[in-house]
Chain A
Amino acid sequence: MSASAEPKPDSLLKMQRCTIRFGGLTAVSELDLRIGGDELIGLIGPNGAGKTTAFNMITGVYQPTEGEIHFAGTPLSGQAPQEITGLGIARTFQNIRLFPSLSVFDNVRVAFQLRQTTGMFQSLLRGAAFHRNEKLIESEVLEILDIFKLSRFRHTMAKNLPYGDQRRLEIVRALATKPKLLLLDEPAAGMNPTEKVELTRLIGFIKEKFRISVLLVEHDMQVVMGICQRIVVLDHGVKIAEGSPTEVRNDAKVVEAYLGDSHLKKPAAAVD
C-alpha cells in the first residue's frame, strides 16, 4: 500500500458532524468522513454500528438530523436519492435490491436513462435518433456485462441468477451510472472464501479501471485489511478510530469494540 493514510485535502466527499436519530435512537452521531478522489476507504464496525445508516445519509435515503454532506463541492442536503446518483454517487445494498423481474441486461440498461437524452417523447416517436441512441446504450451495456463476465446471463431474470452473480450484478449496475464514488455495503456477505478472494480482486480492478473512489462496508477483515488504504471504525454510531489498516488493527478502542466479536481474529462470513 503506497497511498498515505491521510485523507487527501481535495475531498470528493465531505461529511461533517452528521447525526441521525430514529425516535430516541441515535444511529449515527457527529460523524466526520472525508473521501478523496481515487481512494479506497473501509468503513467497519460491529453490527448495528451505523454503517448502512451512514450510506443512507450519503445517498439521500435518509436526511441527517444534523450536519452537512458535500459531494464535489455540492451540498447534498435536501437532494433526492436519484439526484445524488446523478451527481455521481452509486451504491449497492446490504440486502440485494436488484430489479427481480427485469433481465440482467435491463437491470444495467436502466442506468443509462440517467445520462442519455432519450425521454418519453423520443420513445414514442421512435425516430432515427432514438434508434441510434438505443443501439449505443445496448453496446455499452453489453460491453460492461462482458467486462464482468455476465453477458451469458443477459436474458436471465435477475431473481434467477445465482447468489454470487446477483451481488456482482448489483455492483455492475451501480457502475453503469458512471459514478465518481461507489459505496459497497457488505459485498462479500454470504460468499465462500474463493468468491471472496475473487471479489477482493474485482474491487481493486474496478478502482483502477474506472478511476473512482470506493467506500467499502465489510465485515470480513481479510477483505477490508487487504485492499483499503484507510479504514474508519464506527461503534454505536460514533467514529472510534481512523487510520491505516495496521493502525486500526492495533487500536485499543477498536479491539475493545470488537471484544467478544471474533471478526478481528478469525474472519468469518457475516450473513445477515
Chain B
Amino acid sequence: MDWLQQLINGLAQGSIYALIALGYTMVYGVLRFINFAHSDVLMLGAFAAFFLAPVVGTILPPQSYLGAFIIVIVSAAICAAIGILIERLAYRPLRNRPKLTVLITAIGVSLLIEFTCQHNAVFGARTRPFPRLIPEHNFHLGNIVIANHDVLVPIVTAALLALLWLVVQRTKIGMAMRAVAFNPQAAALMGVNINRVISFTFGLGSALAAIAGILYAMRAPGIEPLMGIQPGLRAFIAAVLGGIGNLPGAALGGLLLGLLETFAGGIPGISNYRDGIAFAILIFILLFRPAGLLGEVKTEKV
C-alpha cells in the first residue's frame, strides 16, 4: 500500500507546483517572459501567513478553519499587491525592450528580494517553524496514514483551478487576458487596457503563488527567505513541461512533475538524484516535444 501513500504525497506536491506554475504561465502568456521573482512572491506569501497567524490567533480560536481562511486570503491580497508593484516598478518600464533585458531584470528582482529578506533587519537567514494553521487530523486507511494537510492541498488546488478557469473563460477581464495573450497590439486597438490586464495577471498569479507558498510551508520543516527557490524552479519546469503560456498545461505539468518526482524519489538509488530528476524529465520531454506537452509547435513563417 506504499504506492497509495506515494500517490497522495505526489498529488499534494504536484498541486503546489501546479499552483505556482499557473503564475509563471499566465505572465508568460501575456508578456512572453519568465518572471523569476515569482518564486520569491511565494516565499513572501508564507512569511505573510507566518506574521498574520498570531494576529488572527488573538481574535479567533487558534487553528480554526475560518482563521486559516482569513490568513490565506489576506496573505494572497498582500502578495497580489507586491506582484503588481514589482511589475509597475521593474517590468513596465521595459515593456518594449528585448525579452532578455526583462529576463535579467527579473533575476535581479528575485535576488533583491532574497538578499533583502535574508538581512537580519528583515527576516534573517535562519529557518523558522511555520505555525500550524489548521487542526491536525490523520486518516487511517488500513495501515496507511494520511494527513489532512495532504488531502487538503489537492482539494484547494482543484477549487482554485476551477475558479481560475471561470475567470479566464467567463469574465470580461479573462477575455481581455486571452486577447492580450493572443495579440497585444490588436487587443490594444480593440480598446483593451493592456496595463490593467497585465496588472491583473500579476496580481492573480501572485495571489496563487502566496496560497501555494502557504500550502508548501504547511508541509515543509520551516520557512526561510530562500524557501521559494526549489519549488519555484520545479514549478517553472512544470510550466515549460506543460507548454509555457498554456494554463491546463501548467496544471498538468505540475501534477506530473510532483508525481514523477515522488515516485522516483521512492526508488532506492535514484532518490539521491532527486534534485536532478525534474530537469531530466524536462529535457527528455522537450527533446520529443520542443513546445512542451500541450504547447503548439509553430513553424516560423518566413
Q: B267 contacts the other chain (Cβ, under 8 Å)? A: no
Q: Are B299 and A22 in contact (CB under 8 A)?
A: yes
Q: Are B299 and A52 in contact (CB under 8 A)?
A: no
- How long is the Cα–Cα vector from A22 to B297 in the complex, in angstroms? 12
Which residues of A sit under 8 angstroms from B299, Cβ to Cβ? 22, 62
- How long is the Cα–Cα vector from A25 to B302 in the complex, in angstroms? 16
- Chain B 106-150 residues near chain A, CB threshold 8 A: none
Q: A56 contacts the other chain (Cβ, under 8 Å)? A: yes
Residue interface mask B282-302, A partner, CB < 8 A = 1: 000000000000000001001
6 contacts between A and B (CB under 8 A): A22-B299, A52-B302, A56-B302, A61-B302, A62-B299, A93-B302
- How long is the Cα–Cα vector from A93 to B302 in the complex, in angstroms? 8
Which residues of B sit under 8 angstroms from A62, Cβ to Cβ? 299
Closest-by-CB residue of B relative to A52 is: B302
- How long is the Cα–Cα vector from A22 to B302 in the complex, in angstroms? 13
Mark B residues whose CB is within 8 Å of A: 299, 302
Q: How far is the CB of A176 from chain B (nearest CB, A)?
A: 20
Q: How far is the CB of B50 from chain A (nearest CB, A)?
A: 49
Closest-by-CB residue of B relative to A91 is: B302
- Chain A 17-71 residues near chain B, CB threshold 8 A: 22, 52, 56, 61-62
Which residues of A sit under 8 angstroms from B302, Cβ to Cβ? 52, 56, 61, 93
- How long is the Cα–Cα vector from A61 to B302 in the complex, in angstroms? 8
Q: How far is the CB of B100 from chain A (nearest CB, A)?
A: 14
- How long is the Cα–Cα vector from A22 to B298 in the complex, in angstroms? 10
- How long is the Cα–Cα vector from A52 to B300 in the complex, in angstroms? 13
- How long is the Cα–Cα vector from A184 to B60 in the complex, in angstroms? 76
- Chain A 67-103 residues near chain B, CB threshold 8 A: 93
Q: How far is the CB of A54 from chain B (nearest CB, A)?
A: 12
- How long is the Cα–Cα vector from A200 to B266 in the complex, in angstroms? 72
- How long is the Cα–Cα vector from A93 to B299 in the complex, in angstroms? 17
Q: How far is the CB of B113 from chain A (nearest CB, A)?
A: 34
Closest-by-CB residue of A relative to B300 is: A61
Closest-by-CB residue of B relative to A22 is: B299
Q: How far is the CB of A69 from chain B (nearest CB, A)?
A: 17
Closest-by-CB residue of B relative to A81 is: B302
- How long is the Cα–Cα vector from A60 to B299 in the complex, in angstroms? 13
Closest-by-CB residue of B relative to A95 is: B302
Closest-by-CB residue of B relative to A62 is: B299
Which residues of B sit under 8 angstroms from A52, Cβ to Cβ? 302
Which residues of B sit under 8 angstroms from A22, Cβ to Cβ? 299
- How long is the Cα–Cα vector from A56 to B302 in the complex, in angstroms? 8
Q: How far is the CB of B101 from chain A (nearest CB, A)?
A: 15
Q: How far is the CB of A238 from chain B (nearest CB, A)?
A: 21
Which residues of B sit under 8 angstroms from A56, Cβ to Cβ? 302
Closest 6 CB pairs of A and B: A61-B302, A56-B302, A93-B302, A22-B299, A52-B302, A62-B299
Q: How far is the CB of A185 from chain B (nearest CB, A)?
A: 9
Closest-by-CB residue of B relative to A61 is: B302
Closest-by-CB residue of B relative to A93 is: B302
- How long is the Cα–Cα vector from A56 to B300 in the complex, in angstroms? 11
Q: How far is the CB of B98 from chain A (nearest CB, A)?
A: 12
- How long is the Cα–Cα vector from A256 to B302 in the complex, in angstroms? 28
Q: How far is the CB of B5 from chain A (nearest CB, A)?
A: 45
Closest-by-CB residue of B relative to A94 is: B302
- How long is the Cα–Cα vector from A36 to B241 in the complex, in angstroms? 49
Which residues of B sit under 8 angstroms from A93, Cβ to Cβ? 302
Q: How far is the CB of A184 from chain B (nearest CB, A)?
A: 15
Closest-by-CB residue of B relative to A55 is: B302
Q: How far is the CB of A26 from chain B (nearest CB, A)?
A: 15
- Chain A 186-245 residues near chain B, CB threshold 8 A: none
Q: How far is the CB of B300 from chain A (nearest CB, A)?
A: 9
Q: How far is the CB of A191 from chain B (nearest CB, A)?
A: 21
Q: How far is the CB of B186 from chain A (nearest CB, A)?
A: 17
- How long is the Cα–Cα vector from A227 to B299 in the complex, in angstroms? 34
- How long is the Cα–Cα vector from A62 to B302 in the complex, in angstroms? 9
- How long is the Cα–Cα vector from A62 to B300 in the complex, in angstroms? 10
Q: How far is the CB of B278 from chain A (nearest CB, A)?
A: 33
- How long is the Cα–Cα vector from A56 to B299 in the complex, in angstroms? 12
- How long is the Cα–Cα vector from A236 to B281 in the complex, in angstroms? 43
Q: How far is the CB of B169 from chain A (nearest CB, A)?
A: 24
- How long is the Cα–Cα vector from A115 to B302 in the complex, in angstroms? 25
Closest-by-CB residue of B relative to A59 is: B302
- How long is the Cα–Cα vector from A93 to B300 in the complex, in angstroms? 14
Q: How far is the CB of B131 from chain A (nearest CB, A)?
A: 54
